[in-house]
A = this chain, B = another copy of it.
Amino acid sequence: MMKVTEIKSLIGTVGGLKVEFTPFLNRELPEPLYSQLYQWIKKEIEDDRLLPGMKMPSIRQLTTHLKVSRNTVESAYQQLQAEGYLESIAKSGIWVAEIEKPSLQPEDKIHAVKSDCKPSSNVVVDFEYGNVDLDKFPVKQWKKCLTDAVDQENNWLFEYGEKQGEFELRREIANYLLQSRGVRCKPEQIVITSGTQSSIALICRLLELREEHVAMEEPGYSGVRTVFEDQGCYIEPVPLEKDGLSMEHIQSSRVKAVYVTPSHQFPIGMVLSISKRIQLLKWAYQTGGYIIEDDYDSEFRYRGQPIPSLKSLDEEENVIYLGTFSKSFLPSVRLSYIVLPPSLMIQYSQKSKDYNQSVSPIIQRAMSLFIQSGEFERHIRRMRKLYQRKHQALLKSIEEQMGTKVEIVGEKSGLHILLKVKGVKGSELIENGLEKGVKVYSPSRFWMNPNAKRNSYIMLGFGGLSIEDIEKGVGILASCLP
């Protein structure tokens, strides 16, 4: 089928060997060039013409030789890296990786070629955000909840489960929210979802946000931004001030909904002031707009009085509240929820009547037993103390070892911090750290505006690290500073 109209050739001196690069790139095919390039290189590797340990031509070299855009080569390389065919080694280049080729024979035990593979490198301390603590987790109790759930009588195990989520769990969440966040709601207003992104997709459907404008903090959670974009929304990035998002921007906009993280702005970390909360609610009442309050990590506040949630201040019905068990319990339960204002319940049941619930009732019932037993409360209390100690250790190490070369950004809460670095680019520090075995992250994807000064930040998650590792990691990182 493939008609070849263009043959490009490049001799690469790779790994001491000469290898001829002759990808057949055909601009007339519907398949994009990067994809053709990706397929070709992959085949070369699979057929052992490119061998593990060979160095690939640089992106620049290949771009020039193939007369394609930089993007084309970059995308192909990225994909090959994601699939484990190539490996990028900092300051050294891109290499053909050592992989076990998966066979089609089911008998062979195929080795894991992870699609979001982490470099098989010498990382000693990984400040990845999203992980939670593992030492103090009540494994035994959780296992008991799982098996007790399966044992619960009734036929639920053999059915699809309630579309809105198991009632038991919604009841526990309603109780929990009242006690911990001052949110008064009935189980009937709660919808269980399989993650905050699913919550957002559901809200887009409910509020009919396609082709509508939606405001988000800039920077803000990219996972949510992607969903809004994929659902056809136009995002209005709203700049941040010391006390949260700029209300002037909201007021002069024509957005139908505002997505905010008022308890602990993601990723910067400030708290939305009470006066801005009131202004935001007023804006909603006046325009009929909706506020989507993402209260993702409010359980972990280490200092000062918590400010009431927007939902608890909402006197009309304009706040949609989002919660998750990913921080307070385990990201691997994939369990989140929405609290809808009663006025949206009809739309909900009309627009969702044909949708099945996507969280397994087994997980939902286990979680509800876990909450009922009091374990969840205890777990949160334990974790709050533990994370507070980790947070303190992190700040102390940074102050002691990095001094004025960095500035700690954000409030005293949550499971991550941002550092503003001085005298060096964030990306350089990340690379240098990686070489010495410390992984820290760039928060740059959280900015929508590519021209923002986002390269001065690095992001450190600490939930899954021990205090020793935190101290060690900061020490190594400090040694990478100029």
A residues contacting B by CB (< 8 A) are 1, 30-32, 34-35, 38-39, 75, 79, 82-83, 102, 104, 106, 110, 112-116, 130-134, 137, 139, 142-143, 146-147, 150-151, 155-164, 167-168, 171, 174-175, 178-179, 184, 186-188, 194-195, 197-198, 201, 205, 210, 222-223, 226-227, 230, 232, 288, 316, 326, 330-335, 343, 345-346, 349-351, 354-363, 464
Contact = CB atoms under 8 A, between A and B. Distances in A.
Contact of A106 (B83, B179, B335, B464): B179
Contacts of A155: 131, 134, 464
Contact of A104 (B114, B178, B343): B178
A1 B160 CA distance: 41
A32 B151 CA distance: 44
A330 B197 CA distance: 25
Copies of chain A in the complex: 2
Nearest to A355: B197
Contacts of A188: 83, 102, 113, 115
18 contacts: A1-B316, A35-B343, A83-B345, A83-B349, A102-B187, A104-B184, A106-B179, A137-B157, A139-B150, A143-B151, A146-B147, A159-B331, A194-B358, A197-B358, A227-B355, A334-B357, A334-B358, A334-B360
Contacts of A333: 360, 362
Q: Which of A106, A115, A343, A359 has the most CB of B within 10 A?
A: A115
Contacts of A343: 31, 35, 39
A335 B358 contact: no
A361 B362 CA distance: 13
A106 B31 contact: no
Contact of A354 (B39, B157, B223, B350): B223
Nearest to A343: B31
A290 to B, nearest CB: 12
A332 B158 contact: yes
